[in-house]
Structure 1
Amino acid sequence: MVVPRDLLETYFQIRTESVQYLIDTYGAIQVESENKNKFPVTLEVKTIVADLEIFLLISLPFNFPDSFPQIKLNDISYKMLYPLPHLSIFKTICLFDDVVASPNPENPFGVLDESIEKAKEILLKGILKLNIQDYIDEIETYWMEEAKGRYLSIVQPSDCPKEVYLVPFKYADWIEQGIFSDQKSEAINWIQNLGGVVKDEEITKILYIPLLELMNYPFPKKNIDIYHLLKNNKLALNSLFQYLTKNTRPSKVLFSMKSDEDYSWGIWEHLKPYKQVVSKFKGRKRIQTGLNGFRRDTKYGFLEIVKEFPRREINKYSINDVSATRLKIRGGDGKTENQGFRVAVIGCGAIGSHIAQGLFDIGIQHILLIDHDELSFENINRHLCGANAVGQKKPDAIRNLLRRQYPTSSIQVYNRNVLSLLKDSPNALNSYDLIIVAISHTPTELRLNELQLQNMINKPILNVWVEPYLAGGHGIWIEPNEKILLKMLFDNGRYKNQILMDGNQYSKKELGCSTSYVPYGALELKKFIFDLLLFIQQQFNSKERSSKTYTWLGNLTEQRKYKRLLAPKWVGATNFTFRIQELKNNQESND
């Protein structure tokens, strides 16, 4: 992409003036930049912090002052001060949180002054040990700096030590070497959803230890440090000794640490026993790789880490928590109350496919997709899946797409008619908390309602469909114990809350065949699904759920513009609003 010359000139002019400002104000000296594409210019500034002479390397990014400058220590200052909170192994001082702070581009000199003062403040607090707590708050960052590798985890934290599984895998060019999980099948499902390859022969059991106390700085580096970390937690310490006694080295240990309702994760690894021993009499050196007085390869956890090899270094590995709970907290609103629900979606066309994705967005992790149809080119304009999935069964296409996006998901498929499923397995849908019917096929909807009335289906059913041109969308939620007769909501085939006076006249027919379809656009459909999902979530979270109708009104102005007649009750209604009415004794009342 070609950047307009005037923008390049603007940055160049500001950068030139800023360099001169640093020289005049701070006595800066221009030095060689490590990365001229990202940081075209670097200057060295000498300053005094806590009576120490410190040299700061200030690098101006190409788009300064739209981005903060980077400030590092030179080699001498780094060796003198490291380690300090917010000083990385790359000698960079972490100045500002980009999420909550941004530079003022109208005051570039002020940005420079503020950045330098912030760097000096961070160094001063570190030198005077006033911000040691920051090590604990950012333990994962500092642990990662010394990490030998990276892993993923979907382990659920607990209060007691337990065995978990480490399942190594390979996926694309990822550097993560494996994933930890409580159950082996969960990890394998996660990897297969992603499209990765499981290394079955390398699957192992690993000890997980929840730290009951915060890990203080300096963090463990040797076997004996782990002993001191756990010595007040007898259960964890004994579990570690037993684990090391039972398993060969290297032996990884997964740990978690809770702080302010959030968890930090990491791995330490005990290595094969090894130390150099010098004879007291003749000064001869030898290598010891086992326990004194025991047979070769004998393992005894306590003796190894406390008595014989206390100074043996440990390895560290970083962990990325990718559990559904963590991802919902970090990348969502933090609400996890829907994770335990299971939903069956009957009909995997445009409506059903977007509902399926939306269910994961509100935290549902287990769904069943039912449809006998194949995805065609005619579907893809408004379907969740695209041209690359044409020819696949719709449930398979949706599953293949969503499980890569939501690897913690459990997606089951049935590629036949739902009535075939119920004929062979009458209770198949009763293991789900909600049954969503998105097929716009009245006979099947009535049959399912009949099975619900007969208690053959004992879970709520939500019938969903839309009208032509998305004039409106509808949902009918029926609780199994309220005995709602679905057909009572229709008058000669016409739904009582229908938006258009006669929606059928706007249906389209394929040329050369007898197949009709309902015209509507993808954008309006997504808006309807979004609002519908909020209704579903509201029903899930209701303490006393009841049967209700949900009526969504689309762009009514457009319907009037094209002279599509609205039903009398909606003539004065407003665009993109909805109505919820409670169903009792097959009658509606305003909710």
Structure 2
Amino acid sequence: MDARHNLVDIYEHIQKESVNYLIDKYQAKVVQENDEKYKYPVILEVSITVAGFNIKLLISLPFNFPDSFPRFKLGDSSFNTLYPLPHLDKLKTLCLFDEVLASPNPNNPLGILDSSIEKAKDILSAGILKQNLNEYTEEFKTYWLQESKDFYLSIVEPSVTDKEIFFIPFNFPNWLQKGLFTDNKSVAIKWVQNLGGRINEEEFEKVLYIPLTESMLFPFPNRNKDIYQLLKGKKPALQAISNYLTKNKRPAKVLFSIKSENEYTWGAWEHVKPFKRIISHYKGKRKTQTSLKGFRKGTQHGWLELAKDFSNMEINKYPIEDVRSTRLKNRGGDGKTENHELKVAVVGCGAVGSHIAQGLTDIGIEHLFLIDSDKLNFENINRHLCGASDVGQPKPEVVKNKLRKHHPTSKIDVYNDNVLSLLTTSPKALNSYDLIILAISHLPTELRINELQTKEIITKPILNLWIEPYLAGGHAIWLNPEDKISISSLFKENGEYKNQVLKDGNAYTKKELGCNTSYVPYGVLELRKFVNNIMLFTGQQLNESNRKSKTVTWLGNLTDQKRHKRLLSPKWLGATDFSLRAKNIENNQESVD
């Protein structure tokens, strides 16, 4: 094998070249003590002069340089002289590049070194000359995190006024976070329990939330008096924290938010039990003060604690991760929240129904009602959302458990029986949902529920879904209640759908030895394609003000069907693979959309 194509040799060659370059151009010295040789095989010390300061830079070349940026740290003496500076953390590391926006040019490793050193000089110069103090605020979360003790989560909805909220301690294996701030205790309890966490209701705390209208200025608050200075120009907030500290025991947490360009940054601080050592004027004796001067022992007064008697008490700081569903969809999605308040019932939690349920959460719908009488078995798991560990449990339960671990704010109800059993006892049980999806592929049940809709017993839209063998095609029928469409008009007398893709779909079902062992063969990859297309259609329909009843035919890999000599219905012979056809239904007849 050509040595130049061996990855280890490539990196070692570039590393050697880079080290020689830094020694020749910058008089760098190789640092012998290195505790991170696996990740950073070589560390070099470079001396630079910035704004009159002689600064020692430690440049660590990663094992995969130049595919990753080098790390820049300050030497101990330089750090002690200059800290704090914007973009310099407590681990003495300089943040040079936002690696989400920037990436190194692997074809120019020496250029990476030069540009990194110049970037370090610019950042240090701007910090020393106080030209970039606003960047402390821009990187508030980073600096607040550096001085923190623990990590917490929040599902508190921001507001324009202070309010009482709750802090729920919890314990999750492998999580750094140890608690959740919430407006509503029951919502938080469900959030934690959905993920399998442990809580103790006796440890719940009442907490104050304060919305800050302006960014904090550096240096950020460290003591009671700093909090007083932060809030003294904001009388309602100062009054709120004074009352809160007067009424509540220590430690007492305060959650805050900072709004900037419609985005929220969160943090928390904590006031600990008052304590200070004082020297008595009488004989210089040392005493410990834990109460306010002139008050009975145990008396609390928030304003005096902040501004007078215990103004130098240090506060504890906590970074907060905002895990509200709306924020996570904005941070990890397209930010669309129009479906957040919608509720959908899914009848049938087999392979199609389970992936439909997940698809609904993907488009922002988290309130579901899952209905199915079957239990998951081994024959299901290859294409079902859930797997072998869930076998033997009711399908609605396992789908619910799967989804709520992914979306702990979701509200998912289940009915582990036949939908007709439910409608027999509660005919209008599904009318509280914005959409009813039938993923059962059972025409008698579909016709019966369609009849209930045409008779105005069911008053919400219905979406019927089913697929054909080998996923040659998949179908959807959207029925608006006001249209009073009878779906029987869309089927032939023998029960065959008029838009069937395969000429005789039943000819391609398979059967094992035994009673009721027939099954429809198809793969999960094609199923997901079908579901994704149907979810896009569903999202459009839900948000369409003048939506119409429609039939939708999703065409699978028709080329593959022909290759395997599966006969297609004549109307689809010239159709394109993986395409979608939608038609309006008017007066029980289809018309081209």
TM-score, scaled relative to structure 1: 0.97
Deviations 1:536-567 (A, max 9, x none): 11112212222111111111111222222222
**Partner of 1:379 in structure 2?**
380
Q: Shift of the alpha carbon at 1:42?
A: 0.5
**Partner of 2:546 in structure 1?**
544
**Partner of 2:555 in structure 1?**
553
Is 1:338 the equivalent of 2:339?
yes
**Partner of 1:14 in structure 2?**
14
Distance in 2 (alpha carbons) for counterparts of 1:164 and 1:140: 22
In structure 1, runs of 5+ residues without a counterpart are none
Aligned residues of 2:210 and 2:254 also touching (Cα < 8 A): yes
Distance in 2 (alpha carbons) for counterparts of 1:337 and 1:132: 39
Which secondary structure state, in structure 1, belongs to the residue aligned with residue 551 of structure 2? Answer: strand
Amino acid in the other structure paired with 1:357 = Q
Which secondary structure state, in structure 2, belongs to the residue aligned with residue 494 of structure 1? Answer: coil
**Partner of 1:319 in structure 2?**
320
Distance in 2 (alpha carbons) for counterparts of 1:375 and 1:394: 5
Aligned residues of 2:172 and 2:178 also touching (Cα < 8 A): no
In structure 2, runs of 5+ residues without a counterpart are none
Aligned residues of 2:168 and 2:204 also touching (Cα < 8 A): yes
Distance in 2 (alpha carbons) for counterparts of 1:190 and 1:581: 41
Deviations 1:9-41 (A, max 9, x none): 221121111111101100111112231111111
**Partner of 1:26 in structure 2?**
26
Q: Shift of the alpha carbon at 1:310?
A: 1.3
Point out the more displaced range, 564-573 or 372-381: 564-573
Distance in 2 (alpha carbons) for counterparts of 1:106 and 1:22: 17
Aligned residues of 1:244 and 1:299 also touching (Cα < 8 A): yes
Name the Cα RMSD after superposition.
Answer: 1.5
Is 1:588 the equivalent of 2:561?
no
Distance in 1 (alpha carbons) for counterparts of 2:426 and 2:385: 29
Amino acid in the other structure paired with 1:268 = W
Aligned residues of 1:33 and 1:59 also touching (Cα < 8 A): no
**Partner of 1:421 in structure 2?**
422
Distance in 1 (alpha carbons) for counterparts of 2:550 and 2:62: 57
Deviations 1:213-260 (A, max 9, x none): 111111111111112212222222211111111101110001111112
Superposed, which structure 2 residues align to 1:302-313 within 5 Å? 302-313=303-314
Distance in 2 (alpha carbons) for counterparts of 1:146 and 1:345: 48
Aligned residues of 1:463 and 1:477 also touching (Cα < 8 A): yes
Amino acid in the other structure paired with 1:590 = V
Which secondary structure state, in structure 2, belongs to the residue aligned with residue 501 of structure 1? Answer: coil
Q: Shift of the alpha carbon at 1:502?
A: 1.7
Distance in 2 (alpha carbons) for counterparts of 1:156 and 1:130: 35
Point out the more displaced range, 3-12 or 225-234: 3-12
Amino acid in the other structure paired with 1:54 = I
Q: Per the alignment, do residues 34 and 130 of structure 1 end up closer, same or farther by CA in structure 2, a change over 3 Å counting?
A: farther
**Partner of 1:201 in structure 2?**
202
Amino acid in the other structure paired with 1:130 = Q
Distance in 1 (alpha carbons) for counterparts of 2:12 and 2:122: 30
Aligned residues of 2:470 and 2:522 also touching (Cα < 8 A): yes
Amino acid in the other structure paired with 1:20 = N
Distance in 1 (alpha carbons) for counterparts of 2:215 and 2:237: 14
**Partner of 1:528 in structure 2?**
530
Which secondary structure state, in structure 1, belongs to the residue aligned with residue 98 of structure 2? Answer: coil
Amino acid in the other structure paired with 1:452 = Q
**Partner of 2:448 in structure 1?**
447
Is 1:96 the equivalent of 2:93?
no
Aligned residues of 1:170 and 1:199 also touching (Cα < 8 A): no
Once the two structures are aligned, what percentage of the paired residues are identical? 61
Q: Per the alignment, do residues 4 and 114 of structure 1 end up closer, same or farther by CA in structure 2, a change over 3 Å counting?
A: closer
**Partner of 2:507 in structure 1?**
505
Q: Shift of the alpha carbon at 1:4?
A: 11
Which secondary structure state, in structure 2, belongs to the residue aligned with residue 578 of structure 1? Answer: strand
Superposed, which structure 2 residues align to 1:154-193 within 5 Å? 154-193=155-194
Deviations 1:466-496 (A, max 9, x none): 0111111111111112211121211211222
Which secondary structure state, in structure 2, belongs to the residue aligned with residue 378 of structure 1? Answer: coil
Which secondary structure state, in structure 1, belongs to the residue aligned with residue 55 of structure 2? Answer: strand
Q: Shift of the alpha carbon at 1:202?
A: 0.6
Superposed, which structure 2 residues align to 1:287-302 within 5 Å? 287-302=288-303
Distance in 2 (alpha carbons) for counterparts of 1:16 and 1:570: 63
Q: Per the alignment, do residues 65 and 402 of structure 1 end up closer, same or farther by CA in structure 2, a change over 3 Å counting?
A: same
Aligned residues of 1:212 and 1:233 also touching (Cα < 8 A): no
Superposed, which structure 2 residues align to 1:35-434 within 5 Å? 35-280=36-281, 282-434=283-435
Q: Shift of the alpha carbon at 1:282?
A: 4.2
Amino acid in the other structure paired with 2:265 = S
**Partner of 2:567 in structure 1?**
565
Q: Shift of the alpha carbon at 1:74?
A: 0.4
Distance in 1 (alpha carbons) for counterparts of 2:322 and 2:416: 34
Point out the more displaced range, 418-427 or 324-333: 418-427
Q: Shift of the alpha carbon at 1:524?
A: 0.6
Point out the more displaced range, 60-69 or 275-284: 275-284
Distance in 1 (alpha carbons) for counterparts of 2:551 and 2:464: 9
Point out the more displaced range, 346-355 or 272-281: 272-281
Distance in 2 (alpha carbons) for counterparts of 1:170 and 1:401: 20
Amino acid in the other structure paired with 2:554 = W
Give aligned pairs, total: 589
Distance in 1 (alpha carbons) for counterparts of 2:463 and 2:233: 54
Distance in 2 (alpha carbons) for counterparts of 1:553 and 1:144: 52
Is 1:574 the equivalent of 2:576?
yes
Point out the more displaced range, 18-27 or 159-168: 159-168
Distance in 1 (alpha carbons) for counterparts of 2:457 and 2:165: 40
Q: Shift of the alpha carbon at 1:280?
A: 4.2
Which secondary structure state, in structure 1, belongs to the residue aligned with residue 6 of structure 2? Answer: helix
Which secondary structure state, in structure 1, belongs to the residue aligned with residue 477 of structure 2? Answer: strand
Point out the more displaced range, 315-324 or 282-291: 282-291
Q: Per the alignment, do residues 437 and 589 of structure 1 end up closer, same or farther by CA in structure 2, a change over 3 Å counting?
A: same
